[in-house]
Amino acid sequence: MDPWLMVTVVVGLAMAWAIGANDAANSMSTAVGAKAITARQAVLIAGLLEFTGAYFFGKSVTETIRKGILYPNKIADPQVLVYGSIAALLAATLWLLIATKFGLPVSTTHSIIGGITGYGIVYAGLSVVNWGKMTQVVLSWILSPIVGAVMAFFVFKALTHTVFESRNPVKSARLWSPFWIGLAFVVIGTMFYIKVLHGKGLGTGILLYGIPTGVGVFLLSYLLIRLRFPISDPFIGVEGIFKRVQVITSGYVALAHGANDVANAIGPVAAVYAVASMGMAGMKVPVPRWILAMGGLGIAIGVATYGYRVMETVGKRITELTNTRGFTIDFSAATVVLVASWLGMPISTTHTVVGAVIGVGLARGIKAINKAVVYDIIISWFVTVPVAAAISAVIFKLMLLVG
């Protein structure tokens, strides 16, 4: 095996581990915070589903220049692509480790974009960067949490009004709980088609996957609630229903995350693999299954060994979560990401989830939010790209001097 490829594989595995520790932990944080599952159970479920998503549904083709941030025609030297890929991976990994140590949920996509930008500027100057794409990245910092918060605020208000604040909570719960659960699975079914199976067309996804899944889950929920709903305490009954549903919605988020974000770790690895084995760069590269497996394994290990820090921040430290609140967050985040993907809007899943947690807290009043934690998280978001870029630039420059 080419020595540079070996180095890239090791660094890519480290990046996948860092993704698991920081980003993948988001998928289970609300379920842990709402006590739907324990942290140990979350680690097992997330690890298994992240690996499954990465290996079986991970994209079979990964672009060598991630997200089109750099203009490929300005990086013609394959060796530069190798050095740059390693520098970008190392920079993103180091930044994710720092953020995870402090329990800060940051975007792995933004981290790797920062790393790629850093080495690109060192090699070819500011003109190598696609500043239109970079503007979209900056917009996603602002759009994602705001849209996530607004969506979660109104969904939680609507759910509370239709169930908890109604004149007859038992009757309302029997009618409205299956509706909300079914609606969530319309989104999840559609998302599965677009995000996991990489299907094209929102309408096709809704008709073939979304509506059939939602209707089936609605009918099943309706029957189970009529059979088992505890009339004596409807509030405990409603939370109990959403407790089980939340495990499924969180599991879906983990599966979809593995399928999509594994590219953040293996994209640069695939680029180096192409240069080492076929001598091509700047084009679409077929990704061997073993690289997908490596990415999935790294993510799973990251969740298991270090994911608890970010789980605690998102699930417990921003605001107090119950099962209905946790369900609202998962439903809102999935809906926002789905609509944004359809519209081609730049949206960060991490930022959307955190925004949805804040939105649920605001629905109960500003005092329900831990403002100090939110402030720290927002600062970490805005420094992600420049910090990763700076680290990458230094590493790349050192590699050029040594090489």
Phi–psi pair at 61, nearest 5 degrees: -130, 125
Q: Of 25-29, 88-92, 107-111, 208-212, where does mean pLDDT reach its minimum?
A: 25-29
More confident residue, 47 or 403: 47
pLDDT at 346: 67
**pLDDT classification of 128: cutoffs 50, 70, 90:** very high
pLDDT at 42 over 70: yes
pLDDT at 234 over 50: yes
pLDDT at 90 over 90: yes
Write down the mean pLDDT value for the chain: 85
**Predicted TM-score of the model (pTM):** 0.86
DSSP 75-100: ---HHHHHHHHHHHHHHHHHHHHHHH
More confident residue, 13 or 253: 13
pLDDT at 376: 95
Rounded CA gap, 24 and 18, in Å? Answer: 9
pLDDT at 61: 56
pLDDT at 333: 87
Q: Let me know: does 205 contact 194? Beta carbons within 8 Å.
A: yes
**pLDDT classification of 87: cutoffs 50, 70, 90:** very high
Q: What is the DSSP letter of 288?
A: P
Which range of 41-50, 52-61, 278-287, 386-395 scores highest in mean pLDDT? It is: 386-395
pLDDT at 177: 84
CA angle 90, 91, 97 (to 5 degrees): 90
**pLDDT classification of 402: cutoffs 50, 70, 90:** confident
Q: Let me know: does 369 contact 318? Beta carbons within 8 Å.
A: yes
More confident residue, 259 or 46: 46
Q: What would the pLDDT profile of 318-355 be if each residue is shown by its tens digit?
A: 999 999 999 999 889 888 887 887 776 767 888 999 99
Region 296-315: mean pLDDT is 90
More confident residue, 229 or 260: 260
pLDDT at 64: 47
Region 213-228: mean pLDDT is 86
pLDDT at 200 over 50: yes
Q: Of 68-72, 185-189, 206-210, where does mean pLDDT reach its minimum?
A: 68-72
Rounded CA gap, 274 and 65, in Å? Answer: 12
Phi–psi pair at 319, nearest 5 degrees: -160, 160
More confident residue, 250 or 225: 250
